[in-house]
């Protein structure tokens, strides 16, 4: 009985300590995101949903093609990608990334410069990865370096930029990421590090060399 009374007393005190009529906050604001380093971190964590899961490994780059060659499954076939023929012509991930980069360079961001550079490096790593994946599928895509607003209709329908232009932007993003990301080790770590920037840059360089090799054929 004494234990039950103690629990009831604590519950009543807890109710008195808060206002039950206060409305819940179900959405963030620019101040919450750009007003502190923890806000930048929380927003950047959403980018990690773009990374492949273990279930995606079976269709990773090169795996499916090798599987076809080895098994000769006639129901699988390869064809060129186009915006009309596949469901991967999506730009929502890029918009989220550019939103963070734009915000970091705005007056709303009041965190120390080192933290700004770190989280911009994280965002630019994900932007580089986004564009590298698009490049592998489509060969050429439009480059957007900021979050488009509703008045930029011409930019929304701009032509694709040349392949070497996209790769150059990718390498610039990865150079920034490698220089400013403060996480230095990938061992026992689940966050993007400098090593991840160097690794992705090596793949981008490979794509650039393949591009110039094709031009010289």
Q: Give backbone dihedrals phi and psi of 161, rounded to 5 degrees, phi first.
A: -85, 155
Q: Residue 132 contacts by C-beta under 8 Å, 6 or more apart in sequence? A: 170, 200, 203, 204, 207
| pLDDT value of position 214 | 65
Nearest CA-CA partner of 156 in 98, 91, 99, 101? 91
Cα-Cα-Cα-Cα dihedral sign, residues 178, 179, 183, 188 = positive
SS3 204: helix
Nearest CA-CA partner of 130 in 157, 92, 104? 92
How far apart CA 101 and CA 90 sit, in angstroms, is 19
Alpha-helical regions (H) of 17-145: 30-34, 37-44, 63-71, 92-104, 113-138
| pLDDT value of position 204 | 84
| Fold topology of 89-215 | 1.25.40
pTM of the complete model beyond 0.75: no
| pLDDT value of position 142 | 93
Provide the residue-wise pLDDT of the chain in tens; the chain has 217 residues.
554 445 445 445 444 444 445 454 545 578 889 999 999 999 999 999 988 776 665 555 444 444 444 444 444 444 444 555 555 678 899 999 999 999 999 999 999 999 999 999 999 999 999 999 888 888 789 999 999 888 888 888 889 998 888 989 999 999 999 999 999 876 677 889 999 999 999 888 877 677 666 666 6
| pLDDT value of position 83 | 52
């Amino acid at each position: 009985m004494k234990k039950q009374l103690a629990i009831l007393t604590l519950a009543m005190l807890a109710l008195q300590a808060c206002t039950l009529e206060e409305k819940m906050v179900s959405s963030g604001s620019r101040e919450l995101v750009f007003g502190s380093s923890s806000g930048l971190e929380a927003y950047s964590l959403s980018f990690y949903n773009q990374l492949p899961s273990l279930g995606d490994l079976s269709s990773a780059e090169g795996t499916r093609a090798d599987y076809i060659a080895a098994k000769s499954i006639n129901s699988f076939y390869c064809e060129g990608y186009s915006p009309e023929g596949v469901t991967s012509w999506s730009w929502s991930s890029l918009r989220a990334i550019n939103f963070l980069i734009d915000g970091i360079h705005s007056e709303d961001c009041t965190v120390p410069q080192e933290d700004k550079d770190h989280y911009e490096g994280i965002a630019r790593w994900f932007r580089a990865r986004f564009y590298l994946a698009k490049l592998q599928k489509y060969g050429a895509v439009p480059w957007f370096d900021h979050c488009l607003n509703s008045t930029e209709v011409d930019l929304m329908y701009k032509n694709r930029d040349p392949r070497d232009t996209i790769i150059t932007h990718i390498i610039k993003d990865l150079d920034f990421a490698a220089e400013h990301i403060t996480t230095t080790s990938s061992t026992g770590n689940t966050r993007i590090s400098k090593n991840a920037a160097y690794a992705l840059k090596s793949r981008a360089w490979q794509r650039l060399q393949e591009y110039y090799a094709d031009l010289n054929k």
